[in-house]
Structure 1
Amino acid sequence: MLRPWATTLWVMLVLLCRAVAQYSSDLCNWRGSGLSHETHRRDVEQVYLRCSQGSLQWLYPTGAIIVNLRPNMEPSLGRMADVHVCIKPLTSSQGSHVYLEHEGDLRLLLSDKDQAQGAVRCFRMKEGVLFVEAIPQTDISRKITAFQYELVPSQGPGAHMYPYLHQGSVTCKPCSDQEVLMAVCTSDFAGSGVFRDVTPGTNKHPVVAVTLHRLFHQKSGLFAWGGARGRGWSGRVNVRAPWTLMNDFWRSSSVILALFCVSSVAGLVRVFGYEGRDVAVTCSYPAGYQTYEKYLCRNDCDYSDILITTSQKNKTRYFVYDDKSTRIFTTTISNLVASDAGRYWCGVSVYGKDIYTEIKLETIQGMSIYIY
């Protein structure tokens, strides 16, 4: 039989565990529940997020929360003035109004109805903090307030790629190498492909038919790895209006810069081979990737640039062998010719983020081979 003090301690532990379970937070994301509030109180809680992007999810909103976005950096006041915060609610978000609070003044950013439409709102970081106020509930239905946030620059490389910061239309112009790299590294996903057609959608969001040939980078598991033959993806995505499909697209000749956003096992590896002979290209990879597929590609490493994969082993002039004990896979190119010279990439197919090693192959007229 439990002693009275033991029973009291057990009850206190249960209540403590229940209170802790109401909240889940890290530096970037916060998840909480209004069930931890007493129904007759209108608590205001402080939430601190210290990343450039993340999310908030508030179940059964009650009272209010103040969201302080404080990235882990010490920029000058001038730089802080150029930083904007954009928030995008989920279309299922409901149960609260979102305000911008500054020195006691409130400005409505997103009403409950605005959230259901997926409206995006941006403001300067120096203008204040987010004040999320729950709407008094008349029923017991499940309400969840949920939105994503991102800190974005108002000027500098890639600033024009955030249309929510600009009034009216944004002029479409070719991107510089720096802007391409900035867009790839900060976007939800990046790849090379083709826009095929545009059709009307719901909530003023046109639907664009897209064929993706190569996925360079993604932040979530939107695209799943399906092997070398599964690299292509076709589907339809919602885009923000207005959207016009142009017949001619400008394409950066240095789109390969996107590869520098992914991890690399080693720096540039130089390989020399003599024409008319075979040359071996060896690439190492980290521990834990022994069962993943490897491949050799060249140029922009698009789907059409893949020369061979470990699932193929042999293909025309290429032979690949993966030594899992040493974590080195070797691709042999036979009957080397002058046109084989150039840039190659050793790749390890990783879910959402391939691992690359850059190879520079140079051909020499002669009868032997050496690598360093």
Structure 2
Amino acid sequence: MLPNAIILMCMLGLHCAADLCNWTGSGFAAGVDSRIVLQVRLRCTEGSVRWIYPGQALRVVLEPNLSSARRTTVCIKPSPSFRGSSVFIERAGELELLATDGGRPEQQVYCFRADGPHRPAIYLQSSPQSDGPWSRRTMGFRYELLGNRSAAPNLGHSGLQTSCRPCNDTELLMAVCNSDFVVRGSIKNVTHDSERQTSLVEVSAARVYWQRSGVFKQAAASGSSRPVPSWHGRVRTLLQCHVKPGDGEFLFTGSEHFGEAWLGCAPRYKHFLSVYQAAWAARRNSCDFPVD
């Protein structure tokens, strides 16, 4: 905690460059007074913070323009140049350590609940460097605010986690309505990362119904006078889910976080069709889905 710190409001064009989602600024202001803490306010549900020549501390307040933002989860992913700093979260005026230098923090995602009346605030504190306070360094993080979307993975203190159990019919019908991506395709390959405790599933997609960003890329198939476009993408899940390559067509759903797709419900496509058609006949479907 920095009880005697001077709070310096971020002034556009003076110490930083900011929009509603992202901030880039310099720590040169700390050369005037070592107690200075730069304060930044951002109003988006996702974005980035980039601190050049970091000073003593930076305080980032997230103020999204969402009526449902009182109960949410904040996730941050440190930048590759994060080394030499610590991240704290502010709870009731006190600072709680979230992440610190050590290991490979840039490969981890850190999450915390942001319940209550106060907006979530994140402190980024720089450690003294042996090559002087004004060595050329850049540090920061990307952030996301997550609501209570059924397609989002469970969130722990140390990162993203997904459930390995099969989705029931109700969860499946909600997943096709609320997921960041819905794709029909097959599993081409699976690779395992023991360090991150995740598996990377390579998907060859016959159809992309929708996706929030460009996780799945389109390419023209070769070997034909009239090439048929195909889609390819990669989806992550937990190593403990023991995903293996296999034949058959699946409906892949899930959420996207920091440019990566995370697997949610993934039933066989024929099973999904039977569930959806039964729900449609009983008028229990949560949304309309383009059945082929």
Q: Would you say the 8 A contact 1:99–1:106 is kept in 2?
A: yes
Q: Would you say the 8 A contact 2:42–2:61 is kept in 1?
A: yes
Find the partner of 1:26 among 11, 19, 24: 19
Find the partner of 1:242 among 240, 243, 258: 240
**Cα separation, 1, equivalents of 2:238 and 2:36:** 37
Q: Would you say the 8 A contact 1:34–1:61 is kept in 2?
A: yes
Q: Deviations over 1:302-361 (max 9, x none)?
A: xxxxxxxxxxxxxxxxxxxxxxxxxxxxxxxxxxxxxxxxxxxxxxxxxxxxxxxxxxxx
Change (3 A) 1:58 1:26: same
- Residue 50 (str. 1) matches residue 47 (str. 2): no
Change (3 A) 1:54 1:73: same
Q: Would you say the 8 A contact 1:62–1:134 is kept in 2?
A: yes
Corresponding residue SS for 1:126: coil
Unpaired segments of 5 or more residues in structure 2? 1-11, 222-226, 249-265, 278-284
Residue 154 of structure 2 corresponds to 163
Q: Would you say the 8 A contact 1:93–1:115 is kept in 2?
A: no
Change (3 A) 1:57 1:219: farther
Where do 1:209-220 residues align within 5 Å? 209-220=202-213
- Residue 178 (str. 1) matches residue 141 (str. 2): no
Code of the aligned partner of 1:179: A
Give the structure with the higher percent strand.
2
Q: How many aligned residue pairs are there?
A: 234
- Residue 196 (str. 1) matches residue 170 (str. 2): no
Where do 1:307-322 residues align within 5 Å? none
- Residue 105 (str. 1) matches residue 94 (str. 2): yes
Find the partner of 2:139 among 136, 145, 152: 145
**Cα separation, 2, equivalents of 1:162 and 1:240:** 11
Residue 89 of structure 1 corresponds to 78
Corresponding residue SS for 2:177: helix
Corresponding residue SS for 2:65: coil
Code of the aligned partner of 1:194: S
User: 1:99 Cα shift?
Assistant: 0.5
Give the structure with the higher percent helix.
1
* Higher RCO (CA < 8 A, seq sep 6+): 2
User: 1:169 Cα shift?
Assistant: 6.7
Unpaired segments of 5 or more residues in structure 1? 1-18, 262-297, 301-372
The alignment's TM-score, normalised by the length of structure 1, stands at: 0.52
**Cα separation, 2, equivalents of 1:143 and 1:203:** 27
**Cα separation, 1, equivalents of 2:139 and 2:72:** 25
Q: Would you say the 8 A contact 1:61–1:96 is kept in 2?
A: no
Code of the aligned partner of 1:59: I
**Cα separation, 1, equivalents of 2:124 and 2:231:** 39
Q: Deviations over 1:101-152 (max 9, x none)?
A: 1233221111122663522222121365211111112226543323222222
Change (3 A) 1:178 1:53: same
Residue 110 of structure 2 corresponds to 121
Change (3 A) 1:237 1:179: closer
Q: Would you say the 8 A contact 1:42–1:62 is kept in 2?
A: no
Where do 1:260-339 residues align within 5 Å? 299-300=291-292
**Cα separation, 1, equivalents of 2:32 and 2:241:** 46
Change (3 A) 1:227 1:91: same
User: 1:44 Cα shift?
Assistant: 0.7
Code of the aligned partner of 1:163: N
Find the partner of 1:70 among 48, 63, 73: 63
Q: Would you say the 8 A contact 1:95–1:143 is kept in 2?
A: no
Code of the aligned partner of 2:186: V
User: 1:200 Cα shift?
Assistant: 2.6
Q: Would you say the 8 A contact 2:199–2:237 is kept in 1?
A: yes
Q: Would you say the 8 A contact 2:217–2:233 is kept in 1?
A: no
The alignment's TM-score, normalised by the length of structure 2, stands at: 0.64
Residue 41 of structure 1 corresponds to 34
Residue 283 of structure 1 corresponds to none
**Cα separation, 1, equivalents of 2:20 and 2:173:** 31
Q: Would you say the 8 A contact 2:204–2:233 is kept in 1?
A: yes
Coordinate RMSD, CA, aligned: 3.8
Identity %: 31
**Cα separation, 2, equivalents of 1:260 and 1:61:** 50
